[in-house]
């Protein structure tokens, strides 16, 4: 299992690469309906990568913000989606909500549940 430092570095590098490629190909992503939906999905991946980076940074520093990390990551992803197309904002939000649900479900599986007495 990767440590918090290496996971933070890899997620940041992937965040920068994904954001850069989305901006380079934004004209292509806005050219058709299917590519617009793909642009929203790519923006939701930006959300996931930034959320991973912020979470690992918080774990390294020993601080917690709770929903603050989610809101910051979502705001950045929605701003990135808005540079491509207006519909990308909506699809990014929907895909991000689905990814957040899955991440929350997976994190609940890794922690043992407390037994009730």
pLDDT in tens, the chain (117 residues): 677 789 999 999 999 999 999 999 999 999 999 999 999 999 999 999 999 999 999 989 988 888 899 999 999 999 999 999 999 999 999 999 999 999 999 988 876 666 666
Question: Is the dihedral angle over the CA atoms 4, 6, 9, 11 positive or is it negative?
Answer: negative
Q: CA geometry: angle at 96 spanning 92 and 101, to 5°?
A: 160
Separation between Cα atoms, residue 47 and residue 54, nearest integer Å: 10
Asked if 92 and 78 count as a contact pair (C-beta separation under 8 A), the reply is yes
pLDDT recorded at residue 12: 95
pLDDT recorded at residue 5: 85
pLDDT recorded at residue 2: 72
pLDDT recorded at residue 64: 85
Could you tell me the pTM of the whole model?
A: 0.88
Other Cβ atoms less than 10 A from the Cβ of 50: the count is: 25
Encoded tokens for 41: 């999905």
Phi-psi bin for 115: left (phi > 0), alpha (psi -120 to 50), beta? beta
């Amino acid at each position: 299992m990767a440590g918090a430092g290496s996971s933070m570095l890899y997620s940041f590098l992937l965040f920068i690469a994904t954001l850069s490629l989305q901006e380079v190909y934004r004209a292509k992503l806005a050219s058709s309906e299917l590519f617009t939906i793909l642009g929203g999905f790519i923006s939701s991946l930006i959300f996931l990568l930034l959320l991973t980076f912020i979470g690992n940074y918080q774990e390294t520093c020993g601080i917690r913000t709770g929903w603050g990390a989610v809101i910051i990551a979502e705001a950045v992803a929605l701003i990135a989606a808005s540079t491509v197309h207006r519909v990308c904002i909506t699809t990014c939000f929907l895909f991000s909500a689905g990814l957040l649900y899955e991440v929350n479900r997976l994190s609940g599986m890794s922690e043992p549940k407390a037994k009730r007495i």
